[in-house]
Amino acid sequence: MRIALLEDGPEQSQHEQGIICRRRQSCDAFETGQHFLSVVLHNNNDLLVLNCQISGMSGLSHRSQQAQSRKDQKLYKAAVPAQVMAAYDG
């Protein structure tokens, strides 16, 4: 399985990549939304793992932009499942 990870926290990203790799899955990690979008739109990922509180734009917004871009480019691939993460500080 090929997994794309959008996480701007270096420690959290390393932790999540470790979990994914220990399960013998491929992981492409991205720290910025723009880099994520520029690469993921042209890759065949099986799953997207998005931080919904990433600085600059939320993970949900990235997912929405990805879907719109695929539609605009007439890329009729099957929808890619997405796991959106949120942290609670309290």
The pLDDT tens digits of the residues spanning 1-59 come to 899 998 888 999 999 999 999 999 999 999 988 888 788 777 888 888 887 777 666 55
Residue range 2-85, CATH number: 3.40.50.2300
Return the SS3 of 7: coil
Q: How much is the pTM?
A: 0.66
Alpha helices by DSSP H, 1-90 = 10-22, 33-40, 59-72
> What is the model's pLDDT at position 13?
92
Helix crossing, 33-40 with 59-72: angle to 10°? 30
Contact criterion met (CB below 8 Å) for 1 and 47? yes
